[in-house]
Amino acid sequence: MGLRSRPRRGWRDCHLLLRGRPAFAAVGALAAGAIVLVCASRAPVVWAGPSGQAPAPQPKGADFAVTPVAGPSWIKHLGLSFGATAMGRMGTNAPPPTVTYQPRWNALVGSESLARPFVLSGSDLYRLDCESCHQPDGRGSPPEVNSLIDPVRATSTALMEQRLKLLRSPVDRALVRQMTTAAMAAIRTRLREGGKKMPPFDHLEGPEVDALVAYLEELAGVPGAEARQIRITEPFTRVGEHLVKGTCRICHDATGPGTDPQALLRNQLPSLASFPRSKTVFQTIQKVREGAPVEMGPLHLPSTGRMPVFRYLTDDEVAAAYMYLIIYPPRS
Amino acid sequence: MTRHTVALILTLTALAVAPTVPMVQGSAGGTITGTVTAAGLSTNANAVVYVEQAAGPFAPPAAAQIDQRNLKFVPEVLPVLVGTTVKFLNSDSVAHNVFSPDYEKYNLGTWPQGQFKDHTFAKCAKAPCVYTQLCLIHAEMQGFVVVLQNPHFAVTDEAGHFTINDVPPGKYTVGVWHQKLRGQPKPVVVEAGKPATVDFTLGR
């Protein structure tokens, strides 16, 4: 299993911690030593391939064509009500990211965090683009959201031959290859074009699709998939685009009014364009990752809100989405 | 009683009796019936009992169908006369595929709910020709098309009962096929209008 997030800066976080609280620095070498120890325990585990080798060379990351999010939410497109669908709702059920969560409200203030490109594995792309509907294990929420496990297993010649042998059926390698190739083409077409209920993920580009598919294979238990994991370097705007298009936009329209206590009751959620106008990046991170009360109804009473809490996202990813919405303003 | 009344009664009687008469006379064939016991299994269903060889030719068979419903092939076992076209439906909300690794091997592709694909089982050199039906996507799905030389066949119910109707009188060998078990063929003599009984006990 690959690292589920980009390597975090354990040491630098500690440096920021020290800088933010001068009192710590004054305590002297003993205190610093203690902090160093604590920080060392939080130092990132750099993923180095399945058997300890260095990761494979990564595709160049700066060439992605980032475009603004546009149009109505996906559930509105399908004519579904926010309260009556399982789509986009998996946040609350999902476990936190495998990296240690450190509340870092200086995600943007420290600005280096976004200036530095993200290193994404297929599992990160899965979290940003797929997990809110398909669940962490890929099994979705049938019958509304189908499992992706079986269709992905169908792409494996090894699994197919194993199955035919168990059935004592003749194994025709040409037939097996023909079918598994078709199954893989079907997965890629599905990603690009979507389905009756699934949105098209046409913002994904070649190396991203390869990385994502490799992770889907790992998730589905395809033999040898661990060795085929790919990592990609991407600018923060691209990461924000994944999160906004792959997760937020399932329920939120690109443009339209912001938070309206009365409209919320009628399942009219604030638009993506309204976030940077009405909330700070810190408020947005808190709302997405921990939840925050909203005013709902005619009396503007505080409510816990119905937005799922996306614990499986990182601060940096949410900050990247926020910045993406500013740099690439949503279109109607 | 007037003559008219008598005529009416006679006419009504004739009408009431008439439909039954040709059925009795027209059914030149007999019936093969019996029970199959699948030793050690929880159900006796889905064994195919068939006449091994019968003199043809046989009328072009009507289309048969297998549905894919709740991740199962329905029916699980479908005997057909050679030359039959089987329509494979998909009633599930997930996409299904149908392929068979047996004999000429085929892969009908993958299709969504509400659509169907056909396959014609055009030949069978030595009946029964058993085609395992598999779905590429759902490894747990399994069905069987059993291609036979003649239309004199039946599938057993849960209790193991079967009835093969309209078998022309004569001497036959009756075979039995089961996906897990084996049974020995048995001779049977069919007489017009009479049921011939043959039972099977299947083992490994």
A142 to chain B: which residues are within 8 Å by CB? 93-94
Nearest chain B CA: its distance from A162 CA (Å): 11
Q: Quick one: pLDDT at residue A58?
A: 47
Q: Which residue do the tokens 């003199």 mark?
A: B55
Give the integer Cα–Cα distance in Å for A99 and A102: 9
pLDDT tens across B33-62, in order? 999 999 999 999 999 999 999 998 998 788
Cβ of residue A182 closer than 8 Å to a chain B Cβ: yes
Nearest chain A CA: its distance from B171 CA (Å): 35
ipTM: 0.71
Nearest residue of A to residue B98, measured between CA atoms: A179
The answer on pLDDT for A278 being more than 50 is: yes
Over the range A110-124, which residues count as b (16 or more CB within 10 Å of their CB) and which as e? beebbeebbbbbbbb
Domain ranges of chain B: 28-202
Q: Quick one: pLDDT at residue A112?
A: 53
Question: Which has more confidence, B10 or A303?
Answer: A303
Give the integer Cα–Cα distance in Å for A237 and A323: 7
pLDDT tens across B149-186, in order? 999 999 999 999 999 999 999 999 999 999 999 999 99
pTM more than 0.90: no
Cβ of residue A185 closer than 8 Å to a chain B Cβ: no
According to CATH, the topology of domain B28-202 is Immunoglobulin-like (2.60.40)
Q: Quick one: pLDDT at residue B117?
A: 96
Q: What is the DSSP string of A229-241?
A: --EEEE-HHHHHH
Residue A107 CB contacts under 8 Å (≥ 6 apart), including other chains: A113, A114, A281, A285, A315, A316, A318, A319
B107 to chain A: which residues are within 8 Å by CB? 175, 178-179, 182
The answer on pLDDT for B6 being more than 70 is: no
Q: Quick one: pLDDT at residue A305?
A: 73
pLDDT tens across A132-190, in order? 999 999 999 888 899 999 999 999 999 999 999 998 888 999 999 999 999 999 999 99
The answer on pLDDT for A34 being more than 50 is: no
For residue B107, the surrounding DSSP H or E stretch is: strand B106-111
% residues pLDDT > 70 (chain A): 73
Among residues B154, B147, B175, which one has the least CA distance to residue B84? B147
Q: Quick one: pLDDT at residue A189?
A: 95
Domain ranges of chain A: 10-327
pLDDT tens across A53-93, in order? 444 444 444 578 999 999 999 999 999 888 788 888 765 55
Q: Quick one: pLDDT at residue A31?
A: 37
Q: Is A148 in a helix, a strand, or coil?
A: coil
Give the integer Cα–Cα distance in Å for A297 and A268: 12
Cβ of residue A163 closer than 8 Å to a chain B Cβ: yes
Q: Quick one: pLDDT at residue A14?
A: 38
The amino acid sitting at A326 is I
The answer on pLDDT for A228 being more than 50 is: yes
Q: Do B101 and A172 touch (CB under 8 A)?
A: yes
Residue B131 CB contacts under 8 Å (≥ 6 apart), including other chains: B100, B102, B103, B121, B144, B145, B146, B147
